[in-house]
Every structure is written in structure tokens, then in C-alpha cells.
Amino acid sequence: MNGQISIVRPGACDDREIRMIIRLARGKTITALITPENLALALTGKS
């Protein structure tokens, strides 16, 4: 199954929201809203 992940920060620089958009080959889209701090914790594995 092919897919695509996009990580974007819409709006102004002071916006506290990051959107992680996952597009699957079957036309399905999953969007997750996450804070920059939580994204950093998820990527580093630290809590």
C-alpha cells in the first residue's frame, strides 16, 4: 500500500498547531493536530 505523509504548520508562526496529514492510496486521508512540543517528544521518544 502506498501512502504519503505531510507535516505542515498552517497560519502564522505563532500558531501552536502542527498538522500531520497521512494520505493513503485508496483515497483516504487522516489528519492529526499536534503541538510542536508533543511532536518533538514523539520523534525523540522522550517523555
pLDDT of 22 over the 80 cut: yes
User: Is the torsion defined by CA of 42, 2, 30, 36 positive or negative?
Assistant: positive
5-17 confidence digits (pLDDT tens):
998 887 766 668 8
User: Average pLDDT for residues 20-43, to the nearest whole number?
Assistant: 90
Residue 21 and residue 31 in contact, taking contact as beta carbons nearer than 8 Å: yes
User: Average pLDDT for residues 11-28, to the nearest whole number?
Assistant: 83
Residues 6+ apart with CB under 8 A from 27: none
Residues 6+ apart with CB under 8 A from 8: 18, 19, 21
